Structure 1
């Protein structure tokens, strides 16, 4: 969760001025706000999230404490592969998240039929990953979504138009699910080299190797 800080600065025996910060992680914002309070010069401190919902300091602390028991700090990787000869697609996703003070990685893949292209397989892989977020109970949080598909990332960022009907249908389904879960997606395009884990999962699915696993990561 990222927030901005709005506060009134009061100089000793001097004028007041209103300041608003850039967005930053909520935990970092709390540290800054506590320092402002300790100095005695930061007054009327309010935090705002991306939806302009406001929090007082004690309310933001309470909110962060509440989400510790739920999956948070979520980063999602996805990839899809398509075999023209068999018209089969392999879908893969990896989700990294924190919960109860520990870090986890979930990996999932599957093979599907009746898709028409590699681009459609990429969309289907992201849809699979978003469904996994729902099963994990991830909601009302920012989520970093990482993939190597120029088409999917740029279309979902509204930087490229969605011309093909089948891709538009996938985009609509994904956006509707993200909205239903109250998630704030940050789409990040990477090279295939930096997406090898889910590329391998998608290839394994095409080869008939099914993977569903969740492990705790070492600190």
Structure 2
């Protein structure tokens, strides 16, 4: 969770000024706020998140305590594959997250047969990942989505137009779901080499090997 700080500062003679910080992680913002409080010259402090919600110091501290018990620091990898001969698509996603001071990895794939292209499979794999976020009860948090599809990443980042109605429908479905969950999404384009885990899951789905597992890992996404 990222926030910016708005502080009303008052000198001993009563002169006041308002200061605004750049956006930073909430944990860092709380440390700075606690340090400012010790000066005794801070009239008020407000934290503002990326959705323009405002938090007091106590509210943000309580929110951060609650977040520790829920999935957070989330990074997702997704990939889709399409077999022209069978007209089937394999979807794969990997969700890395932290909870209760531990790091976890969720792997999920699916085989579907109602798609028409590899680009649709890529979008469907991202949608599969978003559904897993919903299953984990993730909401109102930043999430990084990484994939090797130029089409999906550039269209969702609004750098490329979408001329295909089927792809536009997928994009709308994903964006609507992210909005309902309050997810602050970041879409990153990565190389196929760095997306091997999700690619493997998609390939296994095409071979009708179903994967659904959650395991503790020693570190986050690599």
Q: TM-score, normalised by structure 2?
A: 0.93
Aligned equivalents of 2:15, 2:213: Cα separation in 1: 59
Deviation at 1:13, TM superposition (A): 4.8
Determine the structure 1 residue equivalent to 2:106: 106
For residue 36 of structure 2, what is the aligned residue in structure 1?
36
Q: Give the aligned partner of residue 141 of structure 2.
A: 141
Between the aligned partners of 2:34 and 2:194, the Cα distance in structure 1 is 38
Calculate the aligned-residue CA RMSD, in Å: 1.5
Question: Structure 1 residue 86 and structure 2 residue 83: aligned?
Answer: no
Summarize deviations over 1:50-84 as a string: whole Å, max 9, x none: 12111111110011112222211111110001111
Give the 5 Å matches for 1:38-187. 38-187=38-187
- Give the conservation status (yes or no) of the 8 Å contact 1:82–1:90: yes
Does the CA-based 8 Å contact 1:37-1:43 persist in structure 2? no
Q: Which residue of 1 aligns with 2:191?
A: 191
1:43 Cα offset (Å): 3.3
Tell me the alpha carbon deviations over residues 179-213 of structure 1, each in whole angstroms, 9 at most, x when there is no partner: 12121111111111111110111111112221110
Shift of 1:41: 3.8
- Post-superposition offset of 1:16: 3.3
Gaps of 5+ in 2: none
Show the counterpart of 1:3: 3
Q: Following the alignment from structure 1 to structure 2, what is the Cα–Cα distance between the partners of residues 189 and 182?
A: 22
CA deviation map 1:84-117 (0-9, x unaligned): 1221111000001111221111000111113111
Instruction: Give the unaligned 5+ runs of structure 1.
Output: none
Q: Distance in 2 between matches of 1:32 and 1:15?
A: 22
CA apart distance, 1:14? 7.8
Q: Is the 8 A contact 1:106 1:212 kept in 2?
A: yes
